[in-house]
Amino acid sequence: MSALERRETRGIFPELFDWIESPFTAFRTGTGQAMRVENYVDEGDHVIRAELPGIDPDKDIEITVTGGVLRIHAERHEEKREGQRSEFRYGSFTRSFTLPAATEIDDIKAYYDKGILIVRVPMPKAAKAEAKRITVEK
């Protein structure tokens, strides 16, 4: 059952269930907290948008591709203030995405604007459907 279907069956208190689930769905054991993302296809690109407010993209975001997996890692540093009470999440945030086969990793682009990281991954070009006769040897 998809998340959308689950939300529709929650009746009159969907926000309550979203609030209860959010601390658990935002944490992945062993990888730190997971950032919230949305992804879609736009103009021939897979687009990943990650919610990362309060992060310096020059120092605190690292995007890597290894073995066909795109990994986004970010750090949000806490500034301690006397008498501070904070509900913000600090620390390490990581998400990984399996890329389609034949993705040209040199063409991947990333932008950061107003607290949102946008990663555009060009969709691989479809291989030409060529027919070739294979000779069977005796």
Domains in the chain, CATH or no CATH each:
33-79+88-122 (2.60.40.790)
Q: What's the chain's average pLDDT?
A: 78
* pLDDT for res 65: 96
How many Å apart are CA 21 and CA 11, to the nearest integer? 16
pLDDT tens-place string over residues 16-68: 444 444 443 343 444 456 789 999 999 989 999 999 998 999 999 999 999 99
Residue 52 burial (C-beta neighbours within 10 Å; 0-12, 13-18, 19+): buried
Per-residue pLDDT at 132 exceeds 50: yes
